[in-house]
Amino acid sequence: MDYIIICLASFFVSILTLFSGFGLGTVLMPVFALFFPLPIAIAATAVVHLANNLFKVALVGKLANWNVVIRFGVPAIVASAIGAYLLGLVSNLPPIASYSIHNHPFPITYLGVAIGLIIIASSLFELIPQLSHLSFSSKWIPLGGILSGFFGGLSGNQGIFRSAFLIKAGLKKEEFIGTSVIVSTFVDIVRLLVYGWIAFFEKYTYALSTEMQGILIAASLTAFLGSYVGSQMIHQVTFRTIQLIVGLMLLILGTAIALGIA
């Protein structure tokens, strides 16, 4: 069942990604979290996200503006390592509280609350029109890199900040797409390296190398398929409809994670 749900989510979310203002990981991570502990869910999502980004780099990476890649990407890479390391520290803290429903325990953890609130905040960027059109002056590009990288390393949610800051960088449409893909790929590589190094990941090495290997491959392939299908639907789906669907989904999943349900 976990194969089916994760692959379906990967397929449909990769379609939504073409229309929404953020990346595949923002929505896919909460779905992984329904079946696995948050550290595993975040690391597994990073693997799928990186695979999809490498696919996109082959297609549009040559369009990147390398001046902006450096100004935005270098701070993002450093901040993503910090966020990923912080994830390891927070994941080892004891639960804040716990409750039970029909004798089933639901622990509320610091990590769950933090990730849940980040996802809920992400939903607001899609549900509230004023926030969905948020952008910043190009002089704040390095700050955007820091925010995008940090939250990418901590929770996998890097796309919202990346889009909000790069949209005002004076890039052509093609440069914007290529630059976003290159920066996102660098952040994915760095945070995966940190996830593999810090102590919390050691106890999940077996699960990620064996039990989840098939899931990661299947999710990556369905993400590729979703990207292709989405490219064929670009002129048939309104952007606002996709924003509302994604926003409501994030709001529900973020609340579930914060409350320890997911």
**Centroid of chain to Cα 152:** 6
Residue 10 lies in a domain: yes
d(CA 98, CA 118): 21
State how many domains the chain has: 1
Residue 63 lies in a domain: yes
Interval 5-18 mean pLDDT = 78
The answer for residues whose C-beta is within 8 angstroms of residue 146's C-beta and 6 or more apart is 75, 76, 78, 79
- Which pLDDT band holds residue 21 (cuts at 50, 70, 90)? very low
- Which pLDDT band holds residue 255 (cuts at 50, 70, 90)? confident
What pLDDT, on a 0 to 100 scale, did the predictor assign at position 124? 79
Residue 209 lies in a domain: yes
Whether the pLDDT of residue 132 is over 70: the answer is no
**Full residue range of the structural domain in which residue 193 is found:** 2-94+141-235
Residue 122 lies in a domain: no
| pLDDT, tens digit, 9 for 90 and up, residues 136-167 | 677 888 998 998 899 888 877 777 678 777 87
Residue 131 lies in a domain: no
Residue 134 lies in a domain: no
What pLDDT, on a 0 to 100 scale, did the predictor assign at position 51? 86
Residue of 181, 194, 152, 179 whose CA lies nearest to 45:
152
Q: How far is CA 17 from CA 12, 35, 190, in A?
A: 9, 22, 22
Residue 205 lies in a domain: yes
| pLDDT, tens digit, 9 for 90 and up, residues 211-247 | 677 888 888 889 888 877 766 765 666 656 666 766 7
Most confident of 169-178, 179-188, 253-262: 179-188
The 3-state DSSP composition of the chain as helix, strand, coil percent (nearest 5) reads: 75, 5, 20
Residue 59 lies in a domain: yes
